[in-house]
Amino acid sequence: MRGACLLFCTLALHGGALAELPERFVDPDDGAFDLSRHLLDHSGFLPVPILITEPALGYGGGVAAVYFDEALGAKNAGRDASDRLDPPNISALGGFKTENGSWGVGAGLFRTWDGDRWRYLGGLGKVDLNLDFYGPLGRPNSYSLRGLGLVQQLSMRLADSDWMVGGRYVYLSTETDFLQGLPPPLRPPELAFDIGKLGLLVNYDSRDNIFTPARGTFFELELAAARNWLGSSEDFEGIAARAFNYTPLGDSVVLGLRGDFQYATEGTPFFGLPYVQLRGIPALRYQDRQTAVVETELRWNFTARWSAVGFVGAGRAFGRSADFADADTVVSRGLGIRYLLARRLGLYGGFDVAHGPEEDVFYIQVGSAWR
């Protein structure tokens, strides 16, 4: 759900009825630009642009058509950002293209029932991506990945608690081509590979704000298995665990802590291996059978609307090329600026500039940078 809500806010940020601009986009309390009424009162279709700043793909963009069958404000009348908000029901269709020739199209559906006790997420997409595989030698090998994928997920809340459990099925049919031949340690069967896997999901969410939290904890664990009878070319398993904690330090400073661990067994295709996910480091740059990442972020609200962000993180990819103790540690750090885009929802947006081992990277952020 967290991803769906962030998607909802990211998309809604860029849409709008221009005829209602003076009233809809101004906070009556302080007269500042604010999206609260726009986000809370919108229903129906919303055309939105998509901005991409991921260095593995290059800069790019796209467009999506999103449909909300009920306004978020009507669905959560009498609540504010500190309450548990029932997310809106969303249908979406869109596509993107980046400067390195990558493109994709997809459609998605998100639904809740029984007062947010049940949640469903479904999606279908097709991509053609131009990426680099670095392998154990750390040398880039360019390849293209063409794939058609499907995801189906159903979750249930445990009583009225912050815990949810559920299941997720993922199917992905892919073909890959390397421009300069197949690099070691890859095998020819990995060039045409189907993934069919079923996973158990457990998550806990006590954050005070689902968009840009100031206190609370989020935790998610996924145990997944790919099998031939599920549509997979080979059998393999995976574990993914992530946790975020937010602690206020006084009235204007928030300390965030993040931990992330991923594990994949023999049989996992090279493009599905875990990789270090940090700002300043391109996706898929540091891959192996296992990854471990820690990161901290400090946000200082120096006015009622504006905030400064500083962050530093470190990660290791290990398991096949090196043990954990012998693996290289990659570090990234950076600074950012945030603006309170929607006061009633606690939604911030802005940008980060991150310094990684190879390059400096610019990111546009809406909501938390931690996914």
**Which residue ranges make up each domain of the chain?**
2-366
Can you give the pTM of this predicted structure? 0.87
pLDDT the model gives residue 148? 98
Pair 208, 216: CB distance under 8 Å: yes
pLDDT the model gives residue 229? 98
Closest CA relative to residue 256, chosen from 244, 268, 271 = 244
**What are 132-156's pLDDT values in tens digits?**
998 777 788 899 999 999 999 999 9
Where does the pLDDT of residue 176 fall: very low under 50, low under 70, confident under 90, or very high at 90 and above?
very high
Classified by CATH at the fold level, domain 2-366 comes out as Porin (2.40.160)
Instruction: Answer whether residue 18 shows pLDDT above 60.
Output: no
**Which amino acid, 57?**
L
Average pLDDT (291-307) is 97
Where does the pLDDT of residue 8 fall: very low under 50, low under 70, confident under 90, or very high at 90 and above?
very low
Instruction: Answer whether residue 17 shows pLDDT above 80.
Output: no
**What are 310-333's pLDDT values in tens digits?**
999 999 999 988 999 999 999 999
**What are 202-256's pLDDT values in tens digits?**
999 999 888 899 999 999 999 999 999 999 999 999 999 999 999 999 999 999 9
Q: Which one has a higher pLDDT value, 47 or 255?
A: 255
41's enclosing H/E stretch is helix 36-41
pLDDT the model gives residue 4? 41
Q: How far apart are CA 182 and CA 55, in angstroms?
A: 23
Q: How far apart are CA 301 and CA 6, in angstroms?
A: 21
Instruction: Answer whether residue 15 shows pLDDT above 60.
Output: no
What pairs with residue 173 in β-bridges?
148, 194
Instruction: Answer whether residue 162 shows pLDDT above 70.
Output: yes
What size, in residues, is the chain? 371
pLDDT the model gives residue 70? 63
How many other β-carbons are positioned within 10 Å of the β-carbon of residue 289?
18
pLDDT the model gives residue 72? 61
pLDDT the model gives residue 3? 41
Q: How far apart are CA 181 and CA 135, in angstroms?
A: 14
**CA 316 to the chain's CA centroid:** 20
Listed range (77-86, 162-171, 236-245, 341-350) with the worst mean pLDDT: 77-86
Average pLDDT, the chain: 88
What pairs with residue 131 in β-bridges?
143
Contacts 24+ apart (CB under 8 A), 347-352: 347/9, 347/35, 347/39, 347/211, 347/212, 348/211, 348/212, 348/307, 349/13, 350/307, 350/309, 352/279, 352/309, 352/311
Q: How far apart are CA 305 and CA 367, in angstroms?
A: 14
